[in-house]
Chain A
Amino acid sequence: MFEFLSLPFMQRALVGGELVAVIAGIVSPILLFRKMSFMSVGISHGAFAGIALGILLGISPMWTAIVFAMALGLFIGFVSKTGKLSEDATIGTFFAFSMALGIFLIDISKGYHPDIMGYLFGDLLAISLSDVYFSMIILFITLTWYFFRGRAVVYSTFDEDFSRIVGIPVDIDYYIFMAVASLVTVVAVRFVGVILASSIMIAPAAASKMLSKQFSNVILLSILFGMAAVLGGIAFSFYTNIPSGPSVVFFVTAIFMVALGIKWSKNFARS
């Protein structure tokens, strides 16, 4: 049953994919409780413009994607804070622009670009060792951020005014969080693509939110659901020969639906 794990490219896909599930599982519950789920959609599309810029300039697209996504994340945060707009309104404005910019940049760059479909829809099976190392670095950054600022960010997500009063640097934490969330989204883009990144970023957290009333458990379940979806999605992709990105998204959506069913049945039993 697990013979697919003996193949090196499958091993890389699995390790890289599971790393993404862990990273997204840590960050996405906070996005969800801040009502910023749409952020991952905006940032992933912003990353596409960065990828296109990398292709145009002939440099590694992941580096330009990081720069572009972080700049967009911080800009969305800045406009939302100073313009007193919701993040969703700012993202809605800029994600289409980023996509349009990406298409324009690819159009003016010369030559054929077979990688574009991989960046748009993800290709777990084309994951290189350097992609896995890249995920490890982002995991380290995410864990460091969560260790030092996680409690404060959860507090300010729960009650921003009180957090300010007890001395939490709410605005600084907000921008740091936007930068970390942008980095995490870029990793998700590398593995499941621009179009599907928001699924792995949000669905596991949304499912875990329905099943737990403890923040630490929400994060733990979010990680486990993401990891299960990656394992199931890669195996399903291998045996059915369908693209790996959509396969992972099918699994993560199935987990969400099961969690929704459990939540509904609990509510029904209570009423």
Chain B
Amino acid sequence: MSKGFLFINSVTVRYDHLVAIYKVSIKLALGKFHVIMGPNGGGKTTLIKAIAGLIPYEGQIKIDGLNMKKYLKKYSIGYLAQRGAQFQSFPLTVLQVVEMGRYRFRESKAVRKEHAMQYLDEVKMSSLASHPIGDLSGGQQQRVLIARALATESKLIIMDEPLTGMDPRSQSRFYEMIEHIKEKHSLTIIMSSHDIGFTTAYAENVFCINKRLVPHDEAAKLLKEPEIKKLYGPNIHLVEHHHLSSEEEEDV
């Protein structure tokens, strides 16, 4: 998957008559860690939900040349939504939550459990497998959800502000874990975030969205740092609004 691309071509999402994102086009290299930044209400969650096929949109989203809707019929993607309060009282164990990721696989209960435990082990949560999900801290719950995303055996993981409410130490650990699993499983990761410091230290590509994709120079203003590259190092590649070449158009 690392050689392909995720094409988002002129994607517009409307909620009733309200435009949430307008004609967003971007080409994301697979096998990288991409971060979507932008102000509240700028359309980060909308774009993530569109990529995940959870909301209707105009335009095209293709992965490795395959229409995303068709892709989702065949394969799962790892998806972490913004954390909900429902986890607090829902009577599922950590193991059962991870087993959700195995839904597409036709396997026995024992094999399903074995796989789920393997992924829990990877995020260092296997010792809490029998605990109710609601009893875990926010950071631990996120680890469990990462294990659930890995359990889908998807090569694409999409996360919507997974760091909300986490202290800096937990955030740092979270990024280290993401880096580790990305390398180990050759994953493409797309994540939305508010945090500039950690994000820019770990992400391989950052792009900004505020209804539309924000051009490079405006993105720097949005992040309140005109010389953002100098400050945060060469890992940052702010992506300009991508206009497809005729050759790429054909690919799409």
Contacts and interface: CB of A to CB of B under 8 A. Distances in A.
Interface of A: 33, 152, 154-155, 157-159, 161-168, 209, 212-215, 217-218
18 contacts: A155-B103, A157-B90, A159-B84, A161-B81, A163-B100, A164-B53, A164-B54, A166-B76, A167-B73, A167-B76, A167-B103, A167-B104, A209-B89, A209-B91, A212-B91, A213-B134, A213-B135, A218-B91
Contact of A152 (B53, B77, B81, B103): B103
Contacts of B100: 155, 158-159, 162-163, 166
A213 B103 contact: no
Q: Is the interface of A mostly helix, strand, loop or mixed?
A: helix
A127 B25 CA distance: 66
Given A152-B103, A164-B53, 12 more contacts: A162-B148, A163-B103, A165-B52, A165-B54, A165-B77, A166-B100, A166-B103, A168-B103, A209-B91, A212-B91, A213-B134, A214-B93
A154 B91 CA distance: 10
B27 to A, nearest CB: 23
A164 B86 CA distance: 17
B79 interface: yes
Contacts of B152: 165-166
B91 A165 contact: no
Contacts of B135: 213
Contacts of A158: 86, 90, 92, 97, 100
A213 B104 contact: no
B90 A165 contact: no
A148 B77 CA distance: 24
A81 to B, nearest CB: 14
